[in-house]
Amino acid sequence: MLPASHSTAHVFVDESGTARQSSVLAIGALRFTNGHGRLVTELQQFRDRNDWRSECHFTDVKRLNVHRYREVVRMVAASDARFTCLVIDCRDADPFARRSAVPWKVHAQLTITILGRAIVGSEIISATVDNLSLPGGVNYEGYIRSAVNRQRGRLAVATICRMDSRACWGIQVADLLTGAVAHHYRQAHDPRVLPGTPKGVLARFVAEQFNLSTLVGARSQRLRVIEHSPMRRPHRRLEPVADRRSVG
């Protein structure tokens, strides 16, 4: 029997990048050991004070609302959250472009991979993943849970639940951080993606809040990026962006 003090965590998983339409695909896992409830309360209070009714989503970051997203990032960075992100260079290997690819299985495999990387030591986790459409008869949650437990050779994932991101702050925050990482990667190899845009400013702010100079190849205790396929083309140097409210 496991003791009541056995390590546990809750992980929220979300993706950034549309299958077959983006040069960078990223999937992130936002992990909490005990601070998720406090953070959700703080986020909800902030949302109510600002009459913020729409979903928190990186693609919706604009000049007129980036200051709100910056405050969300501050609160997340001040919590016990740890973030792991898997980045795939789709110019080299798009997992959805394979002739034999089954979309839901690709999504599942990406989730299996990121959960395996997010689990720490002997802890047991529960996970909440963003909802997606599935064919009839597919036990998506069971498929992922069994695969991770089999890889670990033990009970590592106790439960998995799909949830509409509109009803889950954890998935929305995972989307925000995953989108920031993906944006820094696009910014690094695509000259059309500029650092001075609201999204670029926010991605830079995420890096700063986690004490990083860039999210590309980030390696820290609290924020780690794993490159699934090495970026073969040279990165364009990421230039610092002035932290000006007029930009945000």
State the pTM of this model: 0.89
Would you kindly state where each structural domain of the chain is located, as residue ranges?
A: 8-227
Averaged over 102-123, what is the pLDDT? 95
Query: What CATH topology corresponds to 8-227?
Result: Nucleotidyltransferase; domain 5 (3.30.420)
pLDDT one-digit tens code per residue, 38-47: 999 999 999 9
| Dist. CA 224–CA 233, nearest whole Å | 21
Q: Across the strands, what pairs with 160?
A: 127
Rg of the Cα trace of the chain? 18
Collect all residues with Cβ–Cβ distance below 8 Å to 214 and sequence separation of at least 6: 184, 207, 238
pLDDT band at 246 (very low <50, low <70, confident <90, very high): very low
pLDDT one-digit tens code per residue, 18-40: 555 678 899 999 999 987 889 99
| Dist. CA 175–CA 181, nearest whole Å | 10
List the structure tokens of 239: 């230039």
Averaged over 57-84, what is the pLDDT? 97
36-49 and 66-77 helices cross at what angle (nearest 10)?
A: 160
